[in-house]
Amino acid sequence: MPDIEAKRQVVDDLKNRFSRSTVAIFTDYRGLTVAEMTELRNRLRKAGVELKVVKNTLARFALRECGLEEVEPHLEGPNAVVFGYEDPVEPAKIVNDFIKEFKKLEVKAGILDRRVIKVKDIESLAALPPKEVIIAMVLGGLQGPVRGLVYVLNANLSGLARAINAIKEKREAS
């Protein structure tokens, strides 16, 4: 019975990870050396992202309990899942850059905000700028109209001030 309890704990842990993550990327890690796997884990860890090698049967149980059965067809062969808990872009970037550098890791599918996404979606996600840059772009876009409004209001006020000054000078001259 302890074996069943241990498996139940693994399923609960996976369920917890799937529930908390903003992104989960399923990869086939065949062909990676221990050093390459360690390098990948280190890169992910620096970004606050986790890599977990999973047993397909236990992953299926966890996915079903989370209502994510759509991922099950991608659970063939060895699987390692990258779990990102905050910014969904950073894990995709790290995985994508690792694949470009080592040409060994293969992405199978992913989960983004509880929806199954395909490999091309993960590549598109990796092409996005980081969250901080997107926020800065949005704030810059919002700042433009406000700056224009301030300029227009200043122009009107300065025009009014010039008109009042001209009237004052005209009265003083007369």
What's the pLDDT tens digit per position in 99-141?
999 888 899 999 998 888 998 988 888 888 777 777 777 777 7
Q: What is the pLDDT of residue 17?
A: 94
Strand order of the sheet with strand 106-112? 50-54, 79-84, 23-28, 106-112, 115-117
Local confidence band at 38 (pLDDT 50, 70, 90 cut-offs): very high
Which tokens sit at 50? 């986790």
Q: Is 55 left (phi over 0), alpha (psi -120 to 50) or beta?
A: beta
Distance CA 174, CA 166 (A): 12
Return the percentage of the chain with pLDDT > 90, whole number. Answer: 49
pTM, rounded to two decimals: 0.73
CA angle centred on 145, ends 161 and 88, rounded to 5°: 155
Is the torsion defined by CA of 87, 88, 93, 95 positive or negative?
positive
Yes or no: say if 58 and 51 are a contact pair by the CB < 8 Å rule: no
Distance CA 83, CA 108 (A): 14
- Determine whether 7 is exposed, middle or buried from the number of CB atoms within 10 Å of its CB (0-12, 13-18, 19+): middle
* 80: phi then psi, degrees, rounded to nearest 5: -125, 135
DSSP state of 88: S
Residues 20-28 have a mean pLDDT of 93
